[in-house]
Amino acid sequence: MCGIIAYKGKENATSIVINGLKYLEYRGYDSWGIVYLNNQKARLLKKVGKIGEFQGQNNLSNSCVAIGQTRWATHGKVSVVNAHPHFSCDKNIFVVHNGIVENYEVLKAELIKKGHHFVSQTDTEVIPHLIEEYRKNNSFVVACEKTFHRLKGLFAVVVLDKKTGEIIGTRKGSPLVMGIGDKGFFLASDVPAFLNKTNKVIFLDDGDMVHIIDDETYKIKNLSSKKILKKKIDTIKWSKEEAEKGKYPHFMIKEIKEIPEAIKKATWQDNKKLQIVVNLIKKSPRLFFVACGTAGHACLAGQYLFSSVGKPTGFSVASEFKNFFPTLDKKTLLIAVSQSGETIDTIEAVKKAKEKGLKVVSLVNVMGSTLTRISDYVLMLNAGPEKCVLATKSYLSQLSLILLILFSTLGQYKKGDKELKKISYQIDQLLENKSFIAKIKTLARKLSSVRHIYVIGRSYNYPTTLETALKIKEGCYIHTEAFAGGELKHGVIALIEKGTPCIIHLSKGDEADNTLINAMELKSRGAYIIGVGHKRQKDFDFFIEVPEVEEIFSLLVNIVPIHLLSYYIALEKGIDPDKPRNLAKSVTVK
């Protein structure tokens, strides 16, 4: 939540930071702001709305140092005053921040007593004032150090000192990565913010403090030990094109089109690492999956898949993990799944499990993210950057990797790998099929005006129903509820009226007939039945055909039309599919 970026160097910092914020907009987009130095003057610009809509970039002066933030409001309403950067009374210290300063009320009261004047309702504003206070008797560096030690909570902070043009950044629980360019240095919440300038990065750890002194000099120090650190420079493999929309109107459709590639790339695992994970799974008497949102649905599928082969497997959404924690012992293997690797609840669950001595395997998309650094073993999803707030291709990567691990555990790696490659090809064909797309568009038009949709499926496709409901809720603002088919008669069926749209996920397997029976029960109560499956059903009102695959692989093929449906309904309703209201791509605050 919230994206921050800073640049100091020989290039024009103003446009680097504005462009970087456009890349980071997916992290929060209710307001934005930038401060840059020009002729020793600090120029501050803050606006409500999306940075992507800002046209005045060419009217801004050049500068060699700038910091900016795109906001997802936590403390204080969405307004120009509450937008970042925030500043000290003397307007010499400017701060952008991602996270929450939990003790801001105490700090604010203390600073007000000392005569500081606050203008916003944010927690962030205490930071520049506290630095200003310490700056009275200390250098910029020491003032920042003293301030950072007093902040409680999880945050990433970047500070600009107007007097010296120096930048200081630190992180504790929220992401901050440093870019090393030929002509200057970057600090940002996420690598794609500066990927068009450099792919050389330093992944900062919690408690690291970076001091960018000039275009060629920086120091990184550990805030507790005060030791100067020599940190490794990594090279990021993502290309800048991967992080751009290219010929597509939205990231969402680009990322849906990348699903076949994402499935293939999920199978590109280092065999040694995969084998280590497989051995751990075999050795552990119990597995426990943990994640949030879409990644949580992939984990639920993981629970179904491993349980079906006799492996005791648990799952909990990360925010509820503490309730199951007492049942886990050291022998349980925790598997955490996350696209961003920065989701706070998932990170906290992993930390808790590690304290108790559990081994943790993480399946993550973003290299160098917090989760990759706190887990014992990591398998990368290799899906490439996912910028649309709605997770699409990463869900398929997560499912594919879980399936590959399952097949490998059963000694059938080759079969799993072959099937996944075949499905990648089948989905590619599907996405190229014009009449298939036209059909989804027709359905999107029909559903764009409805108020409620119900979704049912059974067995492995129960997670698919939950993911279907999430995609339609968050992307199209339509109330959509998912149920296991068997639950219908236990109450849900009371909601069905004439014309109520119901999506039925069908697949081969034991539950196929029972699911069809459920569909007919809904139809006889007036529901408008929409089927997703490999075999057209003549009694259904609308049918979306997907490739015929074994039951366990239907979780891959059945969700793809739903991604498209969510995209086209959003377009019908005039919703920006990349940035639905109230959401941010990565949830880094509780």
Which two structure tokens, joined as six digits, stand for 163? 């007097």
Rounded to a whole number of angstroms, the CA Rg of the chain reads 25
Nearer to ligand F6R, 291 or 488 (CB): 291
- Alpha helix ranges (H) inside 479-532: 512-523
Closest CB 311 distance from ligand F6R, rounded Å: 23
Nearer to ligand F6R, 132 or 474 (CB): 474
Q: Which range binds ligand F6R by CB under 6 A, 33-41, 135-143, 225-233, 336-344?
A: 336-344
Nearer to ligand F6R, 26 or 148 (CB): 26
How would you classify the pairing of strands 177-180 and 184-188? antiparallel
340 in contact with ligand F6R (CB under 6 A): yes
Nearer to ligand F6R, 98 or 586 (CB): 586
Q: Which range binds ligand F6R by CB under 6 A, 68-76, 337-345, 501-509, 556-564?
A: 337-345
335 and 302 Cβ atoms separated by less than 8 Å: yes
409 in contact with ligand F6R (CB under 6 A): no
Closest CB 216 distance from ligand F6R, rounded Å: 35
Angle at 242 between CA 557 and CA 295, to 5 degrees: 45
* Strand ordering across the sheet containing 177-180: 41-48, 31-38, 65-71, 3-9, 184-188, 177-180, 200-203, 234-235
Closest CB 156 distance from ligand F6R, rounded Å: 16
Relative orientation angle of helices 461-476 and 293-308, to the nearest 10 degrees: 170
Closest CB 339 distance from ligand F6R, rounded Å: 3
Which two structure tokens, joined as six digits, stand for 208? 């690291």
Residue nearest to ligand F6R (CB): 293
Closest CB 375 distance from ligand F6R, rounded Å: 13
- Alpha helix ranges (H) inside 524-588: 554-557, 559-572
Which two structure tokens, joined as six digits, stand for 445? 């038009």
Q: Write the burial class of residue 550 (CB in 10 Å: 0-12 exposed, 13-18 middle, 19+ buried).
A: exposed
249 upstream amide cis, omega within 30 of 0: no
312 upstream amide cis, omega within 30 of 0: no
295 in contact with ligand F6R (CB under 6 A): yes
Q: Contacting ligand F6R (CB under 6 A), which of 293, 302, 384, 485? A: 293
Nearer to ligand F6R, 144 or 589 (CB): 589
Nearer to ligand F6R, 391 or 564 (CB): 391
Q: What is the per-residue binding string for ligand F6R in 459-498, x denoting contact by CB under 6 A?
A: -----------x---x------------------------
Closest CB 474 distance from ligand F6R, rounded Å: 6
Least Cα distance to 211 among 203, 220, 224 occurs for: 220
Phi, psi of 571 (to 5 degrees): -65, -45
Which two structure tokens, joined as six digits, stand for 59? 């009217």
346 in contact with ligand F6R (CB under 6 A): yes
Least Cα distance to 504 among 547, 464, 446, 472 occurs for: 464
Q: By CB under 6 A, how many residues form the interface with ligand F6R?
A: 15
By annotation, the residues acting in catalysis are: 2, 585
Closest CB 308 distance from ligand F6R, rounded Å: 24
The helix (H) or strand (E) run that includes residue 321 is helix 321-324
Which two structure tokens, joined as six digits, stand for 116? 């500081």
Q: How many CA atoms lie within 13 A of 6 on its CB side?
A: 33
Residue 201, CA distances (Å) to 156, 186, 205, 364 in order: 17, 9, 13, 18
566 in contact with ligand F6R (CB under 6 A): no
Nearer to ligand F6R, 3 or 33 (CB): 3
Closest CB 172 distance from ligand F6R, rounded Å: 19
Nearer to ligand F6R, 143 or 337 (CB): 337
Nearer to ligand F6R, 398 or 408 (CB): 398
CA distance 325 to 71: 34
Per the document, the length of the chain is 590
Closest CB 254 distance from ligand F6R, rounded Å: 15
Q: Contacting ligand F6R (CB under 6 A), which of 343, 397, 400, 426? A: 343
Closest CB 470 distance from ligand F6R, rounded Å: 6
Q: Contacting ligand F6R (CB under 6 A), which of 14, 147, 338, 426? A: 338
Interactions with ligand F6R, residue window 137-176 (CB under 6 A): none
CA distance 524 to 527: 7
Q: Contacting ligand F6R (CB under 6 A), which of 294, 303, 408, 465? A: 294
Q: Contacting ligand F6R (CB under 6 A), which of 88, 284, 586, 588? A: 586
Nearer to ligand F6R, 17 or 263 (CB): 263
CA distance 307 to 321: 19
Q: Which range binds ligand F6R by CB under 6 A, 21-29, 219-227, 293-301, 536-544?
A: 293-301
The 8-class DSSP code of residue 209 comes to: E
Q: Contacting ligand F6R (CB under 6 A), which of 199, 339, 408, 426? A: 339
CA distance 32 to 48: 6
CA distance 534 to 236: 40
Summarize as ranges the residues that interact with ligand F6R (CB under 6 A).
292-295, 338-340, 343, 346, 390-391, 470, 474, 586-587
